[in-house]
Structure 1
Amino acid sequence: MAMRILDIPTTSISNVKRSPMEAFQKADQEAAGVYVFNREKVAGVMLTQKQYESLNREIEELYDQLADLMAEKRLLKENVSTFTDVEVRGAIATAPLSLMKKTGGNNRCISLNGHSIQRKIMNSLMAAKRFSSIKRWTESN
């Protein structure tokens, strides 16, 4: 069996110390990470910011796909137990939303059924509620 030689960009740790930008330029030109060697062993891989963000985005997409597949697998199993909102959250699930602004210094929070939450979260909840109301209205018409 013939040994495969990989055509990957490499540099030494000494070169990185002298001019780190050269390693980034090489990574950009080759559209691949540059392997940094220290005494004939890989010490690390240098990527451009664009390459790093692309890898992170791809990883997140793969995690989302994995979560979807795991959920699908669970749903395909027999004897799947499902629970209603009331069974999970109890009486709070059916209680009406009561919003009260508390004004104390610079901390402005909102109380939702006795639970204090931040304004951003409340805005997200209200937007989701408006969206579901609009969706129900458009589906009924």
Structure 2
Amino acid sequence: MRYADLESGQVLRGVVSSVHNFGLLVDVGGITGLVNAAHLTWSHDITHPDQVARTGDALTVMVVDVDLDRERATFSLKALEPDPLAAFARTALGTTMTGEVIRVAPFGVFVRVAEGIAGLVRDHPAETGDLLRVEITAINLAHRRVTLRPLP
């Protein structure tokens, strides 16, 4: 296979040739492509690519970009999975749920409200691992944002 044979959207089988902090290098028929960390999974629980695959693992990947001049290919694993935010967007605003704080930022906390879905609660003092009862106040598919309001 040659880089010129690759097309965006093409689905291929390959083998992980190496695992790095920035992603996985996957060999497909003698061509190596990168699955960068952003293209691994929809899950917010993955902190290192070795949680997804190890050297020697067989994977199915989707081609997302090919640079013929530099002979580089970018692959994706998550492009093969349904976007959980698309399904979650059907959730009614005002819905209440309990979620776990998965990240603390200077401007608020991110709460996992469903698999692959985290929303922001602004200016909240919670810590990672805390459970918060929240209300969905906005879902913005275009910007991939879920806004939450803490409940007592």
TM-score by length of 1: 0.23
TM-score by length of 2: 0.22
Q: Which structure ranks higher in relative contact order (CA pairs < 8 Å, sequence separation ≥ 6)? A: 2
Structure number with the higher strand fraction is: 2
Rg comparison, structure with higher value = 1
Structure number with the higher helix fraction is: 1
